[in-house]
Structures are given as C-alpha cells and as structure tokens.
Amino acid sequence: MAFWDDEELSDEEYERERKEEQERINNLPVVQKAKDLLNTILAFNATVEEDQDTADLKSSLLTDVGIINAKIIGAEAGDLYMIRMENAVLIKVSAVNIKTTMSAFEMFDIGNPEYLELIRNEIEEFRNIFVEWVDSFDRTNDLLDDEWGIWN
C-alpha cells in the first residue's frame, strides 16, 4: 500500500489512502467488538449510582476499555511485530482487569446482574476475536530483535 511507502503522494492521493486505511482498521472485527464493549460499559456505568464505593470501579472500567480501544489502533498503525505484541499484552491485561472489576461489582452486589453477565460474555467474545487477530501478526515484519528478550 502506497500510504506507508516513502514515495511522494499528492494531497488527494494521501487523503484517499489515509481514509482507506482508516476504513480498513474500523472494519476489523477486533475493533468492532472493542467498540461494542465500550458502549456496553458506558451503558452499565450509567445504571450504577455514583458514590464513594463505585467511583473507582466505574473509573477502572472506563480506563481499561479505553486502553483496549487505543492499543488496538496503535497495534494496527505500527504494523511491526514487536509493537503489535506489546499492544496485545496491554489489551489482554485491560480485558482481564475488566473481568476482575465486574467480579467486584458482583461481590458487592452493585449494578444490574444482567449487565454483569453481558459484559463477561462480551469479554469472552472479544477474547476469541482477539486471539485470531494476534494470530494474524506477521512475525517476520520487525526491524530489530527485542532487546528485552520477550518476543525473540
């Protein structure tokens, strides 16, 4: 794709290719499921009264789902294996944090139980799509060995 090549593009060509790349990313199943998860968490948070006991839990959910959405885009923008894998790890950690936070809501009997189950199911659906997405990463597309020795 010329968008990432070093060749000179006219403004119109650049804009067209940028839009095509944005559309490609937006249509990825992992991106669509992450947006679904964001919307469900926003809806759930709206049903939970804001008080001292719930403020941190609600904030944690928003932080983690925000990280998931941002890191997917970061992984797609970089396209280098090491960058993609680093983002994938952060996405996994955030998804697990969401599951843990939902367990806290349940343990303290806060929130609609139907939402609790819905979010758990969405995390599981996201995990399945995520695994397929990570499997699509090209291990040969990298510039350097990982000096930390994680991805080598």
Which residue, 125, 152, 119, is CA-closest to 30? 125
pLDDT for the residue numbered 5: 54
User: Does a structural domain hold residue 20?
Assistant: no
pLDDT for the residue numbered 147: 82
pLDDT along the chain (152 residues), means of 10: 60 89 94 98 93 90 98 91 94 98 94 93 98 95 81 71
Asked whether the beta carbons of 150 and 142 are under 8 A apart, the reply is no
User: Does a structural domain hold residue 144?
Assistant: no
User: Does a structural domain hold residue 126?
Assistant: yes
H or E stretch covering 72: helix 52-78
User: Does a structural domain hold residue 10?
Assistant: no
User: Does a structural domain hold residue 53?
Assistant: yes
Strand stretches in 51-129, DSSP E: none
pLDDT for the residue numbered 31: 97
User: Does a structural domain hold residue 9?
Assistant: no
For residue 51, the domain's CATH number is 1.20.1440.60
Domain containing residue 47:
28-135
pTM above 0.85, yes or no: yes
pLDDT for the residue numbered 78: 78
- Provide the domain count of the chain: 1
Distance CA 93, CA 49 (A): 26
User: Does a structural domain hold residue 11?
Assistant: no
Provide the token pair at 149.
């020795």
